[in-house]
Chains A and B, each alone.
Chain A
Amino acid sequence: MPIPVLMPALSPTMTEGKLANWLKKEGDRVRSGDALAEIETDKATMEVEAVDAGVLSKILVPSGTDGVAVNTPIALILGEDEDSDAQAKAPAEPAAAKPAPVAAKASEPAAAAPAKTNGGPAPATGTVITVREALRDAIAEEMRRDENVFLMGEEVGEYQGAYKISQGLLQEFGAKRVVDTPITEQGFAGLCVGAAFAGLRPIVEFMTFNFAMQAIDQIINSAAKTHYMAGGQLTCPIVFRGPNGPAARVAAQHSQDFASWYAHCPGLKVVAPYSAADAKGLLKAAIRDPNPIIFLEHEILYGQTFDAPEGPDFLLPIGKAKIERTGKDVTLVAYSRMVHLSLQAAEVLAKEGIEAEVINLRSLRPLDVPTIVESVKKTNRIVAVEECWPVAGIGSEIAAQMMEHAFDYLDAPVGRVSQADVPLPYAANLERLSIPQVENIVAAAKSVLYR
């Protein structure tokens, strides 16, 4: 029996990929660990290694095939102990037998970076870009604009970013301004705060905000408080950015929404973009802001595409929310990836005749309370959606603000949807129960409508 080689999942979030090229041809003998083929995902080009030794008897998916779903059989291997006559059944001269030169893949970062990073005019409206590209463009444009802006973090340079946000930046700006660090978060975060005191404008990339916990003393005690403690003499113009919140199946120590932790602290501004326009306009504004900014991205949004914002001076104001969808029956307030789920929930509710208004908060500190209150004046019902834990979460703050500023307009208590009040479990079924889902938002909306 030939053993099928399946299209592998090569990252926590991969569902399909491109079979770039075969490195072995039909009839080749393979050992366990041999590279069989190259697979391209949105983040990287990876090799598939043989697990079973034997002969590559049949290639089922030819080189250059896009959109191959994970677990699709891509080839057959005849085991070592099997009758080699069976091999004769495979075509002798397969079409897809010529592996492309290995060197071709090394150009991946440059190839993936569109021409617009060269300082030319931004794309016309109608172009779509990913959140990942929007973030990269924002950094690149601001680094061109102000030579005091630099990027520092783990794997931001030669590796081109652990999540490929900094693709091409080392090539354009050099190692002075795109600085790879040791895995020492407290050290480089503190170093950048010091550099900001001295007038530079650091962008600190945390590989994820989970690792920023190692550095949170420097973020709060040094970055957030010094302007106040110095009676206004010192400023700390710095951006701490990176992915925040749960990705997929990476378990408790790598899956946490820190929004409410930072939103709690005076002296910081806290931003959480949803779309590519949010990402670009808010990150550019954050880099130009004279204060320390916590910029919370989401790994699952990185690869999503949106309409590209216009022009190199596209800025969004920090502290202003955006109404993503208007409605009169219930207000859904969310940020980051939960905006996406809230919009999906609004679609479901619309089919049942419920018109939900979806507010994308964009900023968590300062919080755009007037926009939320205006919405509640119209809908009289509100659900706050977040990936934080419920206790002292963003939803708790929104509930308090509504109590203070919209009490007379509420026809139901404020509803909340959050991550379950447990460290995030690894098991697929428990993780799903733990992270907010569209159906949880729909149920919460109906609950405040008493339906």
Chain B
Amino acid sequence: MTAAPRARGTTELRAVPTSRGQARSKPNTRGDASADADQIVGFYRDMLAIRRFEEKAGQLYGMGLIAGFCHLYIGQEAVVVGLQATANKQDSVITTYRDHGHMLACGMDAKGVMAELTGRRDGYSRGKGGSMHMFSREKNFYGGHGIVGASVPLGTGLAFAHKYKGDGGVCYCYFGDGAANQGQVFESFNMAALWKLPVIFVIENNKYGMGTSINRASATTDFYRRGEVHGIPGLRVNGMNVLEVKEAGEKAVANCRTGKGPYLLEMVTYRYRGHSMSDPAKYRSKEEVSKIREESDPIDGLRKYILDSGLADDAELKEIDRQVKVQITEAAEFAQQSPEPDQTELYTDVLVSV
């Protein structure tokens, strides 16, 4: 295969353009407001790309082309798209196992992500990691971690390195409401505040830690206040609105870049699918899911905003829909055509050769 995207490679395709420094095909014809307009339409494209990617992943899972655990991000797209819009090139990102959206939002190639899901050699981990374990040194994306809570100290460590090296970077450290109760999260908050580390702790509160609602797992559910005892400022944000997410992200990142230390964002969001592909999601009603889909969907909401504000017309959005569909279809085809890893890969990468 050509142009194989790899964690250690230097050339990556950008089949899914992101809102970060990506040139838009649409000409600038709207004067001063156009930069914003382009960015907002870009958010639409990026969120839609994540949703279509995840739907396709669900379909390939059902066909047996993707196996094991597969946690879809559908419903939560505004969180990562809005926040990554505030990031710079030197910033780092880390998350847990519901990670496909984060990779796309970091500018990783949909083809390489999908090929990892199918366990093929052109995947980001050359087929060895799967859905939960992908990385890109080039995009400063540090995974993709399978153990609840364990990525939070790692993200704190990435922030420690930013400060140590003085590179001006900030770590965007994403985790869920379930992980928020882990002891190591509390330990990380303390060290981050103690040493004023540049880390944004993003709690994606989708209301359920697997099958347990936040009220059944947490004595208090004001997650944005979890850093209070360490003096970490926190905000609760409507994570279904990409513009509100971006605004909160700007506040948080400004805090980190000026040396004031960590910031905590509670993104109130919702996942439409089960915890993983094998979760029947009996712990919530169909009505609850459909009500949120109908009333708060981040993509439908932004689409309406764009049309109402005249940032783009229906034909332009339909063209984006079509382009995204083509991108995702190509990624899925690529992921099915890419061969399995060579058998010799079984014993590579266990240790660095010295």
* Interface residues in chain A, defined as those with a beta carbon under 8 Å from any beta carbon in chain B: 6, 8-12, 14, 32-33, 35, 43-49, 51, 70-71, 102, 106, 154-155, 158-159, 162, 180-184, 186-187, 210-211, 213-214, 247-254, 420-423, 425-430, 433-434
Contacts and interface: CB of A to CB of B under 8 A. Distances in A.
Interface stretch (B7-15, B40-48, B210-218, B300-308): B210-218
7 contacts: A8-B61, A10-B62, A159-B283, A181-B217, A183-B209, A422-B350, A423-B350
Interface residues of B, number: 57
A45 B278 CA distance: 10
A248 B340 contact: no
B278 A11 contact: yes
Interface string B196-209: 00000000000001
Contact of A183 (B129, B182, B286, B293): B182
B346 interface: yes
Interface of B: 55-56, 58-59, 61-64, 67-69, 116, 119-120, 125, 127-133, 145-150, 178-179, 181-183, 209-212, 216-218, 272, 274, 277-280, 282-283, 286, 293, 340-341, 343, 345-347, 350
Contacts, number: 174
A150 B70 CA distance: 32
B130 A430 contact: no
A51 B55 CA distance: 7
A331 B278 CA distance: 39
B209 A182 contact: yes
B346 A420 contact: yes
A44 B275 CA distance: 14
B127 A186 contact: no
Given A46-B274, A427-B119, 17 more contacts: A6-B62, A9-B277, A12-B68, A12-B278, A44-B279, A46-B278, A51-B62, A159-B210, A159-B282, A182-B178, A251-B129, A253-B132, A425-B341, A426-B116, A426-B127, A427-B345, A428-B340
Given A46-B278, A48-B62, A423-B350, A12 B209 contact: no
Contacts of A428: 67, 119, 340
Given A48-B62, A422-B347, A9 B286 contact: no
Given A180-B212, A182-B218, A254-B69, A158 B129 contact: no
Contact of A10 (B69, B179, B210, B278): B278
A184 B182 CA distance: 5
A249 B279 CA distance: 17
Contacts of B129: 251-252, 426
A252 B217 contact: no
A253 B147 contact: yes
Contacts of B62: 6, 8-10, 48, 51
A183 B179 contact: yes
A167 to B, nearest CB: 12
B210 A154 contact: yes
Contact of A45 (B147, B280, B340): B280
B120 A427 contact: yes
Contact of A253 (B127, B145, B181, B345): B145
Q: Which of B183, B210, B212, B280 has the most CB of A within 10 A?
A: B280
Nearest to B280: A44
B211 A430 contact: no
A406 B303 CA distance: 75
B63 A8 contact: yes
Contacts of A247: 68
Contacts of A422: 346-347, 350
Q: Which of A12, A180, A425 has the most CB of B within 10 A?
A: A425
A426 B217 contact: no
Contacts of A14: 278
Nearest to A35: B286
